Structure 1
């Protein structure tokens, strides 16, 4: 009996477990999945919790509900991987041998990386919304907050769901408008990026929407520390941004065990060196990496994990059969972006092609519009929660191509800001 071990039972790990169960001969392969937490969170839904749009029941399920029967499940924390020995070490002292290892351990916000961020003001006047606890505490804060300077700050540009901070700004504008207190709230979007997003056409559209909604964009701001006494963000070049309420997107880091393991030439954020087309760990032939745990230069988002899935599955099977790997992943990402007042826009891009205007997924028919606010895009965003629980996690196919298509896109179109 051979062993395939999956580290992480979040979006990517659960999806791949279901795909692999259907693809492998269970008389020859034992599948084991390891995770320390038993609750599965629909993380895109955290965005809606502070504004009273979602509650706990909308975003939580038991992880075991999505595991196929017969799966060997270990509830424990990984402390180290020894790639040369094909061994995983767990916190209870147990070791797991593997023939193939799939790492899907994601990324986690780490507010302690920034001096002053995780201090006395944390969950009093400083909140995150990338965790369930942070989102629910922020919801309570917003219910009674009387206004002032609301600052949304990205401590680092490499984060999961890169559009979520923009969505928070748009939804905050709508939330305070509907409460009749928008004139008492000054919203600032403070980012290390040179603009609202990383790509020119999308930046023009999204930056224009921020301007239209009265959100001040402070770009090229590299956060050094939070001065708790002065309630001020301080950048490395001496800029200061005061706040009354800070919504922070802290530094995002890969799993702690990665640093303790010989996983190659790591960056400071513990993301695993991964071939960006085959999704094999760069220094280890029998280790594959998927989702937010990789260092590939595309968005850390659930849609990306989904688009990676077939490449990972195919290449695990190629590896098992001694065949060359397929360099088929193209960096495909797409994201609905809530813009407030029941509307959203949509972006679709990959390593080589920036988000473009047009229709998705079909030419002319769409029905979704790219880089354009529509109510249907908003409906699509909300409907994705059902797709997530019932299709994506179960490893079933969605009616969209894993590789980005230029069908319906308008590369020469001029976008309006």
Structure 2
């Protein structure tokens, strides 16, 4: 019997497991998925926890609930991947799995220890918090309940990061939250980013940067952090620029899974080099990536994993039939950006086309507006949690095409 092995049961891995369970003959194929954690996290929901919109219970469910019964689920750490030998060694499970096909969906994770000062456990989470983890978002929420004001600095350590719009969403929601509490005039909000502007794409960066200005949020571009000085309560860049803080919301360096590095399969940030259009590993033809695990220059976000899915499944199926994979993944991403006060912005883009104004998904009708604030965009964001748990994870059909369409957009 042949083995189809998936490493990681997050968004990408779960979708692949559900799709392959529909396609592969269980008399011929064994489908195995490995993950060290039995809990599935709805990571977009972490953003809302500091502001009391969601509680931790809103963003966690058992992973088994979303995996089909014909898939062999193993909860274990992964000790080593040996792609030249087509096998994976598991730690806690104490077994070796030989595979015919491997999909790597091990995601990305924050590494505060990459920045001096962020690895100081004595100071960590007193007035320095991440929100890219459930623990960090929850502790930040507890801090904000009683904070009286001061200077709040949000800093991105380096790119790439998961969900590149999340820092902007946090800033916009913080502006709303402090208004709601009646202390906005007592809070200075600073955004220190290594990017030259508010976002990675120039046109969207101009629009979103304008929104920061309108909300009185101070943008500090091209700030490349060197260290956090807890004694002085400053973050310091390599050119010795200092920004003081009373509250630091940090987005540490994001890296791929450590086992990718230990196995010699990754780049300097432990992301697996892969063809950005086919999603096939650059080095091993029976190894594929989905979601955040690869080095493809697409946004590391759940919507991108969804858009990768159909291309990945078709290309793996083609490879099984002895055919060449098709270069069909265009880097498509779309992201709802919460902008506060029950409004949001939607952006839709790919490798070659940056976010443009227009209507989505129906040309001229929408109901969502692109690159423009609207109430509908906010409700689209809020409805997505239900769609995620009930449709997307299970590999169900979503009303969005994998390839980006120019219909309804204008230059």
Partner residue of 2:208 out of 206, 209, 212: 206
Query: Using the alignment, how far apart are the partners of 1:258 and 1:403 within structure 2?
Result: 29
Match of 2:239 among 237, 240, 244: 237
Give how far 1:51 is off.
0.1
Does 1:373 pair with 2:370?
no
Question: Is 1:267 paired with 2:249?
Answer: no
The residue aligned with 1:342 is 342
Q: Which residue of 1 aligns with 2:254?
A: 252
User: Structure 1 residue 321: deviation in Å?
Assistant: 1.1
Secondary structure (helix, strand or coil) at the match of 1:246 reads: strand
- Contact 1:83 / 1:262 at 8 angstroms: preserved in 2? no
Partner of 1:76: 76
Per-residue Cα deviation, 1:278-328 (whole angstroms, up to 9, x for no partner): 000100000000100010011000000000001110111111111111111
Equivalent position SS for 1:108: strand
1:363 deviates by: 1.1
Equivalent in the alignment of 1:398: 398
Instruction: Find the counterpart in structure 2 of residue 67 from structure 1.
Output: 67
Question: Does the Cα contact within 8 Å between 1:155 and 1:249 map onto a contact in 2?
Answer: yes
Count, aligned residues: 409
User: 2:27: which partner in 1?
Assistant: 27
Map residues 245-324 of structure 1 onto 2, 5 A cutoff.
245-263=247-265, 266-324=266-324
Answering whether residue 146 of structure 2 is matched by residue 137 of structure 1, we say no
Say whether residues 1:226 and 2:232 are aligned partners: no
SS in 2 for 1:139: helix
Residue 108 of structure 1 corresponds to: 109
Shift in Å, 1:94: 1.4
Measured in 2, the distance between the counterparts of 1:14 and 1:147 equals 42
Is the CA contact 2:7–2:35 (under 8 Å) kept in the aligned structure 1? yes
Counterparts of 1:171 and 1:262, CA distance in 2: 40
TM-score of the pair, normalised by structure 2: 0.99
SS of alignment partner, residue 408 of structure 1: coil
> CA offset at residue 268 of structure 1?
1.8
- Which residue in the other structure is 2:96 paired with? 95
User: 1:363-408: per-residue Cα shift (whole Å, max 9, x none)?
Assistant: 1111100010000000000000000001100001111111000000
Aligned partner of residue 334 in structure 1, secondary structure: strand
Q: CA-atom RMSD, angstroms?
A: 0.7
Whole-Å separation in 2 of the counterparts to 1:140 and 1:63: 27
Runs of 4+ more than 3 Å apart: none
Measure, in 1, the Cα distance between the counterparts of 2:401 and 2:72. Answer: 31
Distance in 1 of aligned mates of 2:187 and 2:212 = 14
Q: Secondary structure at the match of 1:31?
A: strand
Work out whether residues 152 and 165 of structure 1, in 8 Å CA contact, stay in contact via their aligned partners in 2: yes
8 Å Cα contact 2:152/2:187 also seen in 1: yes
Aligned to 2:52: 52
| Alignment partners' CA distance in 2, 1:399 and 1:26 | 29
Distance 1:156 1:197 in 2: 13
In 2, Cα distance between the equivalents of 1:380 and 1:245? 31
- The residue aligned with 1:183 is 185
Match of 2:196 in 1: 194
Aligned mates of 1:73, 1:101 — CA distance in 2? 15
SS in 2 for 1:203: helix
Alpha-carbon contact 1:308-1:329 (below 8 Å) kept: yes
> Whole-Å Cα distance in 1 between the matches of residues 406 and 123 of structure 2?
47
Structure 2 counterpart of 1:329: 329
Structure 2: 5+ residue runs without aligned partners?
none
Contact 2:49–2:141 (Cα < 8 Å) also in 1? yes
The equivalent of 1:414 in structure 2 is none
* Mapped partners of 1:230, 1:190: distance in 2: 17
Tell me the distance in 2 between the aligned counterparts of 1:112 and 1:12: 27
